[in-house]
Structure 1
Amino acid sequence: MSRAYRTREQWRALIAEFEQSALSQKDFCEPHGINPAYFSQRRLELQREAEDNDTGFALAVPQSATSQQTLQLRVGRTELMLPLSVSPRWVAQLVKELSA
């Protein structure tokens, strides 16, 4: 079996898919053609990388113009999608309330 190259984003998507599945790591990896030990290693590396990069700020990513006009806020594994029409003050108040 040849090894498929996956970007960091592809690994993050696979790991998120695994975490939302009810499958064991072995059962998840098999149909994806991934060695479970390697999957575990990549998962740990990306978790450590996320922890090291945690500055206490949320990443806000506006979606592309071709997609729905939304603002995506991500903190760790939590993701919130908001319409761009939402008031910046409302977003600031939400962040303040959530951080309390």
Structure 2
Amino acid sequence: MSRAYRTREQWRELIAEFEQSGMSQKDFCEQRGLSTAYFGKRRLRLQREAEDNDTGFALAVPQSPNSQQTLQLRIGQTELMLPLSVSPRWIAQLVKELSA
């Protein structure tokens, strides 16, 4: 595997792509010629940085077109899957209550 320099933002995009792919980390890395171990280290480091710099915002990841229509909210190690039919106001109230 050849080494390629990636910026922090490129790593974030690559990791978001992995998380939306539904693939195993091993398969994802093999397809892209990445070291599984290094990918895992970068992913963990960025997750820890995000937790350390928590701004009170949750990461919302749209699911792939093949999945049921859901919205995934992730705050730290906690994930919440909601149907897209849920009111944005309800979600905002939930986040407000959880952060209190």
Please state which band the TM-score falls in when normalised by the shorter chain.
Answer: 0.5 to 0.7
Q: Structure 2: where are the runs of 5+ without partners?
A: 62-88
Distance 1:24 1:97, change over 3 A: same
TM-score of the two chains, using structure 1 as the length reference: 0.60
Bigger shift: residues 6-15 or 43-52: 6-15
Q: Secondary structure at the match of 2:10?
A: helix
Change (3 A) 1:38 1:97: same
1:41 and 1:17 map into 2 onto residues whose CA distance is: 16
- Structure 1 alignment gaps of length 5 or more: 59-74, 80-93
Please give the per-residue CA displacement for 1:10-65, whole angstroms capped at 9, x wherever unaligned: 10111111111121111100121110000000000000000000032x4xxxxxxx
After TM superposition, list the pairs within 5 Å mapping 1:77-92 onto structure 2: 77-78=59-60
Q: TM-score, with normalisation over the residues of structure 2? A: 0.60
Q: What secondary structure, in the 3-state scheme, does the structure 2 residue paired with 1:55 have? A: coil
Match of 1:28 in 2: 28
Q: Between Structure 1 and Structure 2, whose CA radius of gyration is higher?
A: 1
Give RMSD over aligned pairs.
2.3
Is 1:97 aligned to 2:79, yes or no? no
Partners of 1:24 and 1:51 in 2: CA distance: 23
Bigger RCO (CA 8 Å, 6+ sep): 2
